[in-house]
Structure 1
Amino acid sequence: MAALALTVVPVAGGATLDTTAVAAAAGGDTAPCGPGRFLYVFNGDASPHTVTIATPGTVSGVAIADVTVAVAAGMTAAIPLSNMFRGATGRAAITYDGVTSVKVGAFELGT
């Protein structure tokens, strides 16, 4: 899995997320979790794609289901990376059903 670098987005400024986003890795990506952090996904493909974020935790011994987000063709998604996605490495594990024309980035809202 490729490790996505965290980019701080200034709240008062006009940051363009597309310029920082990179091609989604075929084997998946990891990203840092925490308050104010999110995964940006741009699907430039002609087909929809599904992003899956692993949820390594349990509640009363029952595994929490992984989160899946469908991103329509030509659309974007901002998926919060809360601490519930934090794996053993301290990062979220992210996979994609396809990576053709898919760009992603890990962002944090700044001040």
Structure 2
Amino acid sequence: MATVGTGVITRAASTSDLSPNAASASGDKFTAGHDVWLFLENTSGAPITVTVTTPGTVRGQAIADLTISVPAGGYAVRGPWPADTFGDAGGLVSLTYSTHTGLSFGAWKVGA
């Protein structure tokens, strides 16, 4: 699983600062946060399902993993990703994919 950085959107951010990452076959991770949002783009000809692991619990009960359907030739934007629900022991959010072919993503937050 690859761990990618969270980009910061500022008035001075360059295009390369905001470039999406190619999805990894084994899944990806990014830092959880109340101010972090996720952009997913699918350039393939079929929908892709992205599963977000939810290791958090509510009163000892497991929270079901979140699934996001990214349409063929389309995109999905989701967030925020609070650590108490979506973060693992290291504060990272884990993503897995029905296929990584044609899928790119970025995790961003708005900076000052």
Q: Decide: shared fold, TM above 0.5.
A: yes
Number of the residue aligned with 1:64: 63
Q: Please tell me whether residue 38 in structure 1 is matched to residue 27 in structure 2.
A: no
- TM (normalized to structure 2)? 0.87
Alpha-carbon displacement from aligned partner over 1:52-108 (angstroms, at most 9, x marks no partner) = 111101112210000001010111111212222111111001111101110111111
Following the alignment from structure 1 to structure 2, what is the Cα–Cα distance between the partners of residues 15 and 82?
A: 26
- Kindly tell me the number of residue pairs found equivalent between the two proteins: 109
CA, structure 1 residues 56+79, in 2 after alignment: closer, same or farther (shift >3 Å)? same
For 2:3, the aligned partner's letter is A
Number of the residue aligned with 1:5: 5
For 2:9, the aligned partner's letter is V
Displacement of 1:16: 5.8
Tell me the percent identity.
37
Secondary structure of the structure 2 residue equivalent to 1:69: strand
Q: CA RMSD in A?
A: 1.9
Number of the residue aligned with 2:47: 48
CA, structure 1 residues 49+37, in 2 after alignment: closer, same or farther (shift >3 Å)? same
Q: Which runs of 5+ in 1 are unaligned?
A: none
CA, structure 1 residues 9+23, in 2 after alignment: closer, same or farther (shift >3 Å)? same
For 2:47, the aligned partner's letter is P
CA, structure 1 residues 64+39, in 2 after alignment: closer, same or farther (shift >3 Å)? same
- TM (normalized to structure 1)? 0.88
